[in-house]
Amino acid sequence: MAACVGMCRLQMKGAERIVKLGQKSDLTARRILTRSTFATKAQTVKNTPQAVVEFSTKDSISALKANCTIPSVQHEAAVPFKSRLLSLKWAGQGSQSNSSKTLEFQKHSPISVNELTRHLCKQESIDQQIQCLTDHYQLTEENISLRFLVCSLLRDIAAAYFPECIIRPFGSTVNNFGKLGCDLDMFLDLDGISGLNQNKGSGLFLEYQVKQGTSVRTITQSVLSVIGECVDQFGPGCVGVQKILNARCPLVRFAHQPSGFQCDLTANNRVAMKSSELLFVYGKLDARVRHLVFAIRCWARVHSITSSIPGAWITNFSLTVLVLFFLQRRTQPMLPTMDQLRDLADPSDQCIIEGNDCTIVSDLSKIKLQTLNTDTLEKLLQEFFEFYGNFSFSSTSINIRKGKEQNKPETTPLHIQNPFETSLNISKNVNATQVERFVALCRESAWLLEQKEVLKRSAGHSADNIPHWGLAALLLPSVAQSAGVKGRRKKRHHLASDRIKTLLESLKLSSGGAANSHH
Ligand code: GTP
Ligand code: MG
């Protein structure tokens, strides 16, 4: 990852100009990271397209500042905290606007499901469809750079209190399963401040004076409360700050307007960092893991199995663990268990967090890839639905540490053992209705993938009028769900099969337009 050494937000024309100039001068702008229509009070022209430009060196920023006019009129009532995100307006006249070709911009939000399914329908196989979905949804390198930039901007604020702190991204920003538009999970790392115990053998002991708190949790809450207040009062572009300090994992939530990211800032959350590393490792072992996770996450979101609102829903994290477990349980396992990952670890990999052994191997070359498993993505997708459509959720716990089903230690509707804090359940929030909906949707999708009309793309349609097939058919509104999960079971299944028949009829009629109108 390239270090974000300097950034500048500027009007599009100016951005293009600066990047072009950079090719010849010391204003070495590397690339444009984002484009938005965000406008601040400082801008005279509202909704002018804006860009965030990344520069190669700090000197480029100094050179830029030396070359620019800094307005003499100060804004009234501005908080005297200067962000490193500078706004630059191009005051030059005309010639650059329609000169050479426009620079390329990366998209920072995902395409709509409608647009996605149009792309999917044009593919030749379900395997290609699944890869196509990942290609459209995954985070771009520019988007990840922008996320690191936002972390560093936030660090500038937190550093007012804790000069040695680091703000690290975790979750889907770094675990390789991030979808464009996903939230930015950040972790305020204060460990550098507490200092490590180093015995220098001199017989002298130095102790810093610190304030004692009643518990680690209360200290985390007060640190986040103060930083949250600071972000709210002084953070340029930070809006809608909510301090959610009584949650199991206290956090500060806010929107960072210049980047468009929804941010969650936590502290003292090392296990979550380690969980992100674990997911990253599993995703790296076999390309099929990422593809399958992207497809299942998208399928779950479309059918409201997951939600952006916290509640009794299955989370993306739990869903990903379900996929990993399924891949461990193949006749030819595709993924090692966590115990195997721990056993392969070097002494330097040892990691104990709050008494939990979180050790996993870091040298991935030590993991013998499960090359015996040659399942196609289509087969994996189909069997994922069959596996969970028939899974005994009522009595069984999912355990990726052992890679085996275990007896449930408690009576929650869904039990997925926390990978590192093994006495906890990561899906404790999920209620019985949500598990039923998940199972019903898995069954329906497994059934659909057995139908030849769904399995193969039908021939003889123009590229824009191909009926929904394969993965695209699975993303159509659900039959089981429309029938309502609260209704009597028999009635629901009856209705479900009627609706599936209707869906198949529409596929056979292959109008394409009828299916499209669902979205
Ligand atoms: P998105 O939905 O795309 O944001 O996925 P995400 O993986 O970033 O999930 P989320 O933002 O909900 O959580 C961020 C990270 O926190 C996850 O990747 C996990 O590492 C961790 N995490 C989330 N939920 C839990 C949980 O219930 N238990 C534990 N131990 N960690 C969790
Ligand atoms: Mg997240």
Share of the chain above pLDDT 70, in %: 75
Considering 193-207, 334-348, 360-374, the range whose residues carry the highest mean pLDDT is 334-348
The protein residue with its alpha carbon nearest to ligand 1, atom 31, reads 272
180 CA to middle of ligand 2, Å? Answer: 11
Q: Which of 185, 261, 290 should be mutated for ligand 1, with most atoms under 8 A from CB?
A: 185
- Number of other CB atoms surrounding residue 146 within 10 Å: 26
What percent of the chain shows pLDDT beyond 90? 57
Among 276, 357, 268, CA closest to 321: 276
Question: How many angstroms from the chain centroid is the CA of residue 89?
Answer: 33
Residue with the smallest CA separation from ligand 1 atom 22 is 272
Encode 39-77: b = buried (16+ Cβ within 10 Å), e = exposed.
beeeeeeeebebbbbbbbeeebbebbeeeeeeeeeeeee
> Distance, CA 374 to ligand 2 centroid (Å)?
31
317 lines ligand 1 (CB under 6 A): yes
Q: In this predicted model, what pLDDT tens digit does every residue of 413-422 receive, in sequence order?
A: 999 999 999 9
Cβ neighbours of residue 494 under 8 Å, at least 6 residues apart?
none
The answer to whether the CB of 258 is under 6 A from ligand 1 is no
Contact, 154 vs 231, CB < 8 A? Answer: yes
Report how far residue 195's alpha carbon sits from residue 299's, in angstroms, rounded to the nearest whole number.
Answer: 45
The residue ranking higher by pLDDT, 369 or 2, is: 369
Q: Which two tokens stand for residue 109?
A: 């939000």
Query: Is the pLDDT at 395 greater than 80, yes or no?
Result: yes
Amino acid at 91: A
Work out the pLDDT band at 46, boundaries 50, 70, 90: very low
Element (H, E) at 481: helix 479-482
Q: Which ligand is nearest to the CA of 418?
A: 1
For ligand 1, what atom is nearest to the CA of residue 183? Answer: 4
Alpha carbons within 13 A on the beta-carbon side of 476: 27
No. of helices (H) and no. of strands (E), the chain: 18, 13
- Is the pLDDT score of 32 beyond 90? no
87 CA → ligand 2 middle, Å: 28
Residue 183 Cβ < 6 Å to ligand 1: yes
C-alpha distance from residue 437 to each of 308, 312, 442 (Å) = 17, 12, 8
Structure ipTM: 0.96
Atom of ligand 1 nearest to the CA of 419: 30
Two structure tokens written together for 393: 């959720």
Distance CA 453, CA 56 (A): 53
Average pLDDT over residues 209-221: 92
Q: For ligand 1, is residue 418 a contact (CB within 6 Å)?
A: yes
Give domain limits for the chain. Answer: 4-92+102-107, 141-193+215-271
Query: What local confidence, expressed as pLDDT, does residue 514 receive?
Result: 35
Query: In this structure, which residue's CA is closest to atom 14 in ligand 1?
Result: 171
Q: How far is the CA of 272 from the centre of ligand 1 (A)?
A: 7
Residue 294 banded pLDDT, cuts 50, 70, 90: very high
Q: How far apart are CA 397 and CA 386, in angstroms?
A: 18
Tell me how far apart the alpha carbons of residues 305 and 485 are, in angstroms, rounded to a whole number: 12
The Å distance, Cα 187 to ligand 2 centre, comes to 12
Q: Which two tokens stand for residue 42?
A: 């400082």
Q: What are phi and psi of 228, to 5 degrees?
A: -60, -40
Q: Around 243, how many Cα atoms within 13 Å sit in the side-chain half-sphere?
A: 15
E strand or H helix that includes residue 158: helix 141-158
Q: CA 147 to CA 4: how far, in whole Å?
A: 10
Average pLDDT over residues 501-518: 47
Which of 297, 301, 317 gets mutated to test ligand 1 (max ligand atoms within 8 A of its CB)? 317
| Cα dihedral sign, 417-421-423-426 | negative
457 C-alpha to ligand 2 centroid (Å): 35
Name the closest-CA residue to atom 21, ligand 1: 272
CB atoms within 10 A of CB 405: 15
Query: Once rounded to an integer, what is the mean pLDDT over residues 428-433?
Result: 96
Least confident of 44-53, 268-277, 331-340, 389-398: 44-53
pLDDT band at 495 (very low <50, low <70, confident <90, very high): very low
Q: Max alpha carbon distance in the chain (Å)?
A: 86
Q: Is 187 exposed, middle or buried (0-12, 13-18, 19+ CB in 10 A)?
A: buried
Q: How far is the CA of 298 from the centre of ligand 1 (A)?
A: 16
- Domain with residues 141-193+215-271, CATH architecture: 2-Layer Sandwich (3.30)
Q: Which of 136-150, 459-473, 490-504 is predicted most confidently?
A: 136-150
Q: Is 266 in the pocket of ligand 1 (CB under 6 A)?
A: no
276 C-beta closer than 6 A to ligand 1: yes
The whole-number pLDDT of residue 242 equals: 97
Closest residue to atom 28 of ligand 1, CA basis: 426
Ligand 1 within 6 A of CB of 275: yes
Residue 181: the pLDDT is 94
* Residues 306-344 pLDDT 10s: 998 889 999 999 999 999 999 999 999 999 999 999 999
**Tokens 């979101």 found at:** 301
Scanning 213-337, the segments in alpha helix (DSSP H) are 216-234, 270-285, 287-302, 316-328
Q: What is the mean pLDDT of the chain?
A: 82
Query: Separation of 147 CA from ligand 1 center, angstroms?
Result: 16
For ligand 1, atom 32, which residue shows the shortest CA distance? 272
300 close to ligand 1 (CB < 6 Angstrom)? no
Q: Residue 101 — φ and ψ, nearest 5°?
A: -65, 150
Ligand closest to the CA atom of residue 181:
1
